[in-house]
Amino acid sequence: MDNRPIKVLIVDDSALIRSLLTEIINNQTDMEVVGVAPDPLVAREKIKALNPDVLTLDVEMPRMDGLVFLEKLMRLRPMPVVMVSSLTEKSSNITLHALELGAVDFVTKPKIDISSGIQEYAREITDKIRVAARARIRQPLPHVHLSVERKNTADAVLPVEHRTFSSTEKVIVIGASTGGTEALKSFLVAMPPDSPGILITQHMPEAFTHTFAQRLNSLCRISVKEAEHGERILPGHAYIAPGNRHLLLARSGANYVAEISDGPPVSRHRPSVDVLFRSAANRAGKNAVGIIMTGMGDDGAAGMLEMRDAGAYTFAQDEKSCVIFGMPREAIARGGVDEVVPLDEMPRRLFGWLGSQGSRAFRV
């Protein structure tokens, strides 16, 4: 994009939300609200007239279902969309479907004291609009450096350990953010029922991770669930970090188990990819495989380098297949990545590497 402000169209049936989002966005020097719409039918005409760069779209809309509108929009006039969602089970299902249809990301409405709550989310909302404006919808977009303020390193949750490993059981750890829900679905659907255990940190708020895991479980040959503290990590299973809690790989004797932590945010995130990757470096070493997927910022870059230094093999999703190349780019720049791979090639390359290490053959 050039230096002109990001043009935003707000679509929400709530006059209060439209007013609050307008105030938040217009307070930024690099974006402006060019129009508002109370429903998709009005929005359709304003998109034609105003040609916005980013659309914010309420999940549940009058006159036309929001998902029907999004599906038509992505087919006829693809553009970056940030969903505005409530923290309910119904809304989380609709929001995840919206991401499947092509929405870049979503922000959640607070449950109570909506006026002050939206103000607290001002930074999150504007950050996601900036990312959406640069997201890969259909055509490649210019290289953009995406930085995230670092308040803590993984030291805040788990110190570095130096140890040897007696187990040879493989484990896969994955980190993702913006665009990650669809990338993870593509990857996990290809996993065979006897694949190594998989731990996943996807930046996502609580109340969404359980629904996300259920949706994946209904599509995959492997079992997918939200991780629980102390449960054993089994082959043929994937474990999603609970929203607002860190997921770590731990050991109980010869077995891998999940550890859930309420430690402080790392790289502005809880759950944090750096924390998961640090735990894999500490507790699995060369028996771990690390994968970093699409997402903004640099969460996971430091942890992936630690994994590689501990003997793990590491993959990064390539720029062309990423919605946002920020996290993989940072991991590559820091020297933590062994292979850069297109998303659709990731399962084949992963199991090709596992086979080269003497692991049994997998069919994907």
| Predicted local confidence at residue 148, as pLDDT | 36
Worst-scoring range by mean pLDDT, 20-29, 87-96, 227-236? 87-96
Checking DSSP bridges between strand 246-252 and strand 237-240, what pairing results, if any?
unpaired
| Crossing angle for the helix pair 273-283 and 301-309, to the nearest 10 degrees | 10
| Predicted local confidence at residue 66, as pLDDT | 83
Q: Which pTM was predicted? A: 0.86
Query: Distance between CA atoms of 199 and 203, rounded to whole angstroms?
Result: 13
pLDDT in tens, 268-320: 899 999 999 999 999 999 999 999 999 999 999 999 999 999 999 999 999 99
Q: Mean pLDDT over all residues of the chain?
A: 88
Quick one: tokens of 344? 């659709």
pLDDT in tens, 238-258: 999 999 999 999 999 889 999
The residue with greater pLDDT, 116 or 164, is: 116
Q: Check pLDDT > 60 for residue 139.
A: no
Report whether 190 contacts 216 (CB < 8 A). no
Q: Where are the beta strands (DSSP E) in 105-220?
A: 105-109, 171-176, 197-202
Q: Check pLDDT > 70 for residue 138.
A: no
Worst-scoring range by mean pLDDT, 46-50, 53-57, 167-171? 167-171
- Residue 65's pLDDT band (boundaries 50, 70, 90)? confident
Q: Check pLDDT > 90 for residue 128.
A: yes
| Predicted local confidence at residue 63, as pLDDT | 82
Cross-strand partners of 10:
36, 56
pLDDT in tens, 309-359: 999 999 999 999 999 999 999 999 999 999 999 999 999 999 999 988 776
The residue with greater pLDDT, 203 or 162, is: 203
The residue with greater pLDDT, 92 or 11, is: 11
Q: Check pLDDT > 70 for residue 165.
A: no
Residues 36-75: b if buried by 16+ CB within 10 A, e if exposed: bbbbbeebbebbeeeebbbbbbbbebeeeebbebbbebbe
Worst-scoring range by mean pLDDT, 39-53, 166-180, 330-344? 166-180
| Predicted local confidence at residue 147, as pLDDT | 37
Look at the chain and count its residues: 364
pLDDT in tens, 75-111: 999 999 999 887 666 778 888 999 999 999 998 876 5
Among candidate residues 91, 177, 272, 321, the one labeled active-site is 177
Active site residue 299: yes
| Predicted local confidence at residue 146, as pLDDT | 34
- Residue 1's pLDDT band (boundaries 50, 70, 90)? low
Among candidate residues 12, 53, 105, 203, the one labeled active-site is 203
Active site residue 237: no
Among candidate residues 246, 299, 318, 321, the one labeled active-site is 299
The arithmetic mean of pLDDT across residues 158-169, rounded, is 58
Active site residue 116: no
